Structure 1
Amino acid sequence: MKRLISLIVALIFLFVSPMAHLSSAESVERSVNETSGRVIVKMQSFQGITRLLKAGATVLAEKEKLVSLKKPVNQSMSAFLKELEKRPGVLYAEPDYKLTRSVIPNDVKYREQWHHQTIQSERAWDVTMGSNQTIVAVIDDGMDMKHPDLKNNIVKPYNVLTKNAKIPVGEHGTHVGGIIAASANNRIGGSGVAPGVKVMPINVFEDDAAYISEIIQGIEYAVKNGADILNMSLGMEFYSRALNEAVQAAHKKGTVIIAAAGNTGSYLINYPAGYQNVISVGATTQYDVMARYSNYGKTVDILAPGTDVLSTLPNGKYGAYSGTSMASPVVAGVAALIWSKEPKLTNAQVEYRLLQTAAKLKNPRTGKLYEYPRVDAAKALKYHLLASPKVTDITDKHSKVSLSYSSAFRGTISVTANGKTVKKAVNHGTAFKTAIEIGKQAAGRKITIKLIDREGNESWPVTKTVKDVTAPNAPKVQAVADNSTAISGTAEAASLITVKKGKTTVVSGKADKAGKFTLKLKSKQKAGTALTVTAADQAKNVSKEAKVVVKDKTPPALAQISKITASTTKVTGKTEARAKVILKVGGKSIAKTVKAGKDGKFSVKISKQKAGTTIHLYLTDEAGNQSKAIKRKVLKK
């Protein structure tokens, strides 16, 4: 029997009694949308209104002294309002907002779903309630596919255990599926966060546990069958390399992966939520504070409502459960709304949107902000991705970031380098170019540039790596002699050292991390040879040449010498060119010092020496190197 590794359903959800039904009624309310580009101006009197009328103003109510005016195309709303309020006789100016019918589902239990008010689902639904082209895979314990609030939103169900579409009616999976995509406006139950998207129920559980291998199969099925988002309201405290590899492979193929952070109220990491490229979701309560049962720690990314969340249950029922299992599908639903609105976004961009637009919450016990923000559907849907600026390459010689933008922009350019952010306000009615001072940056450093407009919308960050265009300093080389077997010195760390004689490479090799190098020579170099030594960094920038002349450190050698006898008065021989020749007996010179010619030949006059006498011959070259005594015995004849 194979070993079972339990994946407990993100700790046991807290059961509560089902909430009471509300009477079915269709609610219609009004909410404020974006401005239409017009303003309303309240005047102190109608004196001075002539200029406004010439600019196209319309009198709305003469008695109340109200006029309406169109905002100039090339001016921001805030700037135009400030300009108007500075004018004499203007009491105030405000945007002429458009009002529309707000999307409030007629589902009888909708009012009991407090999480929608917290994450501002209604404002998000003014943009989209989700596209049926967006699919969220629910890897769980099955789902009630006949539930009236789910049956129209289910696609490609799969049971990993039986390898077919017959999945069990899982209580947990049904609740999770309803949080994501329960149907809206069908006058029953409640509504999912993204009621217009599709859910793909995938069963991996047998009773209360599942094999890691079955979770992996569920992930692979979801990706292969077109799931955009994976929700995994399950977890364990054990790291699995195989599960992590499956998760990373799914992310690489473009899916957004969302998982429950765990319900032990501890710092423990819950997997798969703890893996990289997985959005780990903690839970909040109705008071918009972090739930005590929710796990916390460095792997948690975002919070979402998770306490007493009303959703679907098997057999057409509804109930409220608590846990990070409930918080995770709330975030999955918001991710589905984002992708429904902007289907061309990448998974990284959807993840970025979720985190960047999330609301910061204050811890009531400490008064400080929580480390993790809470998902905000309205902001996530209001937000739109700005076009990224074109940024020129940045080198370690430049102290500025230069960029251009192809359209009008009013807002802030943010440049982050070395952990510090520099911001520059921009107000251009047309395309523009600009440069921002950031100081010289080290090669290899990452520089991130993004635009943030006045409404808080951001461009996808452009990241540039500082290019290394600065050549290393010339190497410092130790003296090289004609008896050296290696060349040593210091240069830029890990640089490639090349030693040349003319155009011929003598030897090459790398400096170590400390910049030290010792390169073994294949053969000794002749004294007087000119060598050049350069260092090339990893960017192939080459230093200036360090010039080295091989020093003469080798004493002259005696090539030949004539026979010395008792009657010899002249000694001849051959040695190194221009070397001095000294002859001694018993430490005293027996002849004048002579110098060998250019050809190395020498001739020394001596007085006759007795047979058997030992003559010591010394050779000294022009570099001052002196040979050891060369001994010759005087022969009889």
Structure 2
Amino acid sequence: MKFKINKMMLSGALWMLPFVVSAQKDNWHNMDLQRDSVFGISTEKAYVELLKSKPAKKVIVGVIDSGVDTLHEDLRTVLLKSSIEKPSNQKDEDKNGYTDDHLGWSFIGSAKGNVDKDNLELVRLVRRDRKRFAGKDSTTLKGQALTDFKAHQLREKELAAELEKAKQGYAGVQGFAAVLDEVLKGIGKENPTAEELAAYRPANNREANVLRILSMALQSAPSVAAFREQELGKALDHFKTQLDYQLNIDYDPRAIVGDNYEKSSEKYYGNPDVMGPDAMHGTHVAGIIAAERTNSKGVLGVCEQALILSVRAVPDGDERDKDVANAIRYAVDRGAKVINMSFGKAYSSDKTVVDQAVQYAMKKDVLLVHAAGNDNKNLDERPNFPTRAYLNKGEAGAWLEVGASSFTNDLNLKAPFSNYGKTTVDVFAPGVQINSTVPGSGYRKLDGTSMAAPVVAGLAALIRSYYPQFSAVQVKDIIVRSVVKVDHPVMLEREGQKVQVPFTDLCRTGGIVNTYKALELAAELAAKKTATIGAEGSKTIKYN
């Protein structure tokens, strides 16, 4: 699932506002802590002081996501375009099995159309096992079948709980909207000011609760009307999407794709529509990595030399392992040296096929950058798939797991939504109010580890563009060795309680990535002409 952040979360009829922030500078994530007083990664400083007149080569970055707006004013010039494959002529000139893949490929579409919404993997597993265990109980099963049956029963309970939460959430938003209407009616205005809200005397506790939430929301929302349309509208859409599609056992859009879904080894399916029906998420990710830096428009990508290859495999719902595996292989075969993966899910039904694709990427010297996820969970305790660890044994050496940080160097440095893990997350990077490209040549600030991962992917591409002699594992090692260490505690919400923890409890390195320091280290190592920073295929890297 492409990671989304809803600032307004609902449980029943009670609103919680875990994250209300003041507006931040548009390019803060590329700024410098000492110069600009925001905890960015010092990209602009590096361009000015370290990269002027320095030769570089283009680096292809695969963006496996929901799709990319290929017409965007800030992305058109940074897209990888095949010199062999012609668009829209129904011919496979490059003979790679993907007809018309001039700009990339989609594994969630066909001539029939494109998949937009899909289930969670939890739902697909429950649907599969309901058929498998229909009419059976534990007394008739033994061995692995009994183990699988018990796992199925637990997933049934989890699905029921998720459905109930979604129903309560939907009803809660509707109830909130109804009370808001009463408040607005009492004030006599559809779009009152903060002062008019403060002057209103609530008729009951429900109205008082609505007023409390509105006062907090207006710290970031421009008006009550905007809050109602954007935040309430998004919340209703979120819960309705869950109920109608993501958690709906009777909904399965795979027939649109037309592949033999049970055949994991199948590779040649899909269509060349790399934008798809909703390219918001992928377009934002692509802009963070590589938005044009010299056109005086929009935003500044981290890597000026990056070329974006769009591979569509992530619907509004959980991505499917078969599609992820094929997307990785496709990006590798099209020459990607860095692949960004801003998606994840709680379950994996075919991890073997993904592991095989990851191993293929490792053999081809490709660095994989994966977002840690937005559930404020400890990934040491419960994984967020895909993962670097293989099912059998071993792990991917050239893999970076990325958490999200905020802009203030204080207790609030960890983004409150970000997953973490002392042994599973490598680094943190800016992931709060990141301004980037959105469809229609627009720009928007979004939050999430989905934004933090492409910051790191852009940094990796930048290193590979100026220092192509380094392997993927070595680039990873440069990034982790050059983080800015966080030497103060940060706030972490755990089991409903806020506690202060050292940043080293949140990730392997205990730090935030930094472009300037990474390029300094790369230059130093290149000058020494050594290969002491990690042999190809290394499985262990020291973080201190």
Structure 1 residues 247 and 188: CA distance shift in structure 2, 3 A: same
1:112 to 2:105 alignment: no
1:260–1:273 Cα contact (<8 Å) kept: no
Counterpart position of 1:376: 514
1:315 to 2:440 alignment: yes
Per the TM alignment, residue 185 of structure 1 is displaced from its structure 2 partner at its CA by: 2.4
1:144 to 2:69 alignment: yes
Matches within 5 A, 1:148-187: 148-155=73-80, 156-160=103-107, 161-162=109-110, 163-167=270-274, 168=276, 170-187=279-296
Counterpart position of 1:78: none
Structure 1 residues 229 and 462: CA distance shift in structure 2, 3 A: closer
Counterpart position of 1:124: 46
Gaps of 5+ in 2: 9-18, 32-39, 81-102, 111-269, 390-394, 492-499, 537-544
* 1:247 equivalent among 358, 383, 401: 358
2:303–2:458 Cα contact (<8 Å) kept: yes
Structure 1 residues 158 and 461: CA distance shift in structure 2, 3 A: closer
CA distance in 2, matches of 1:274, 1:459: 23
* 2:385 equivalent among 271, 279, 300: 271
1:191 to 2:300 alignment: yes
Per the TM alignment, residue 209 of structure 1 is displaced from its structure 2 partner at its CA by: 3.7
Structure with bigger gyration radius: 1
Structure 1 residues 13 and 170: CA distance shift in structure 2, 3 A: farther
Structure 1 residues 235 and 462: CA distance shift in structure 2, 3 A: closer
1:266–1:294 Cα contact (<8 Å) kept: yes
1:259–1:281 Cα contact (<8 Å) kept: yes
RMSD: 3.1
2:314–2:343 Cα contact (<8 Å) kept: no
CA distance in 1, matches of 2:7, 2:359: 31
Counterpart position of 2:430: 305
Structure 1 residues 116 and 261: CA distance shift in structure 2, 3 A: same
Structure 1 residues 10 and 181: CA distance shift in structure 2, 3 A: same
- Opposite residue 165 of structure 1, the aligned amino acid is P
- Opposite residue 259 of structure 1, the aligned amino acid is H
Matches within 5 A, 1:431-442: none
CA distance in 1, matches of 2:474, 2:456: 15
Per the TM alignment, residue 114 of structure 1 is displaced from its structure 2 partner at its CA by: 0.9
CA distance in 2, matches of 1:375, 1:320: 20
CA distance in 1, matches of 2:525, 2:417: 41
Counterpart position of 1:257: 368
* 2:405 equivalent among 281, 284, 294: 284
CA distance in 2, matches of 1:159, 1:360: 39
1:215 to 2:341 alignment: no
CA distance in 2, matches of 1:330, 1:273: 19
- Opposite residue 290 of structure 2, the aligned amino acid is A
Structure 1 residues 243 and 116: CA distance shift in structure 2, 3 A: same
Per the TM alignment, residue 207 of structure 1 is displaced from its structure 2 partner at its CA by: 4.0
Partner SS state of residue 281, structure 1: strand
Instruction: Identify the structure with the greater helix proportion.
Output: 2
CA distance in 2, matches of 1:295, 1:175: 20
CA distance in 2, matches of 1:14, 1:173: 20
Per the TM alignment, residue 266 of structure 1 is displaced from its structure 2 partner at its CA by: 1.0
**CA deviations over 1:308-349 (Å, ceiling 9, x no partner):** 111000001110111100000000000011001101111110
CA distance in 2, matches of 1:461, 1:236: 30
Matches within 5 A, 1:443-482: 459-460=532-533
Matches within 5 A, 1:487-566: none
Counterpart position of 1:442: none
CA distance in 1, matches of 2:4, 2:441: 25
Partner SS state of residue 312, structure 1: strand
1:226 to 2:335 alignment: yes
**CA deviations over 1:345-403 (Å, ceiling 9, x no partner):** 11110010010101111324547443432110111112236569xxxxxxxxxxxxxxx
Partner SS state of residue 180, structure 1: helix
CA distance in 2, matches of 1:134, 1:13: 33
2:2–2:315 Cα contact (<8 Å) kept: no
**CA deviations over 1:176-205 (Å, ceiling 9, x no partner):** 000000001212111111133111011113
1:189–1:312 Cα contact (<8 Å) kept: yes
CA distance in 2, matches of 1:304, 1:158: 28
1:13–1:323 Cα contact (<8 Å) kept: no
Structure 1 residues 283 and 387: CA distance shift in structure 2, 3 A: closer
CA distance in 2, matches of 1:13, 1:125: 34
CA distance in 2, matches of 1:228, 1:179: 17
Structure 1 residues 385 and 191: CA distance shift in structure 2, 3 A: closer
2:463–2:522 Cα contact (<8 Å) kept: no
Instruction: Identify the structure with the greater strand proportion.
Output: 1
Q: How many residues align?
A: 302
Counterpart position of 1:134: 59
Gaps of 5+ in 1: 1-7, 21-108, 389-406, 410-449, 452-457, 464-637
2:474–2:535 Cα contact (<8 Å) kept: no
2:104–2:311 Cα contact (<8 Å) kept: yes
Partner SS state of residue 374, structure 2: coil
Per the TM alignment, residue 132 of structure 1 is displaced from its structure 2 partner at its CA by: 5.5
Partner SS state of residue 138, structure 1: strand
Counterpart position of 1:338: 463
CA distance in 2, matches of 1:185, 1:255: 27
Counterpart position of 2:35: none
Partner SS state of residue 489, structure 2: coil
TM-score by length of 2: 0.51
Partner SS state of residue 408, structure 2: coil
Matches within 5 A, 1:334-373: 334-361=459-486, 362-365=488-491, 366=500, 368-370=502-504, 371=507, 372-373=510-511
Partner SS state of residue 46, structure 2: helix
Structure with the larger RCO, 1 or 2 (CA within 8 Å, 6+ apart): 2
- Opposite residue 158 of structure 1, the aligned amino acid is W
TM-score by length of 1: 0.44
CA distance in 2, matches of 1:312, 1:253: 30
2:58–2:305 Cα contact (<8 Å) kept: no
Partner SS state of residue 119, structure 1: coil
Structure 1 residues 333 and 461: CA distance shift in structure 2, 3 A: closer
1:131–1:197 Cα contact (<8 Å) kept: no
Counterpart position of 2:309: 200
Counterpart position of 2:153: none
Per the TM alignment, residue 10 of structure 1 is displaced from its structure 2 partner at its CA by: 2.7
* 1:326 equivalent among 444, 451, 454: 451
Per the TM alignment, residue 241 of structure 1 is displaced from its structure 2 partner at its CA by: 2.4
Residue identity over aligned pairs, in percent, reads: 32
CA distance in 2, matches of 1:13, 1:226: 35
- Opposite residue 403 of structure 2, the aligned amino acid is G
- Opposite residue 519 of structure 2, the aligned amino acid is L
Partner SS state of residue 112, structure 1: coil
Structure 1 residues 201 and 461: CA distance shift in structure 2, 3 A: closer
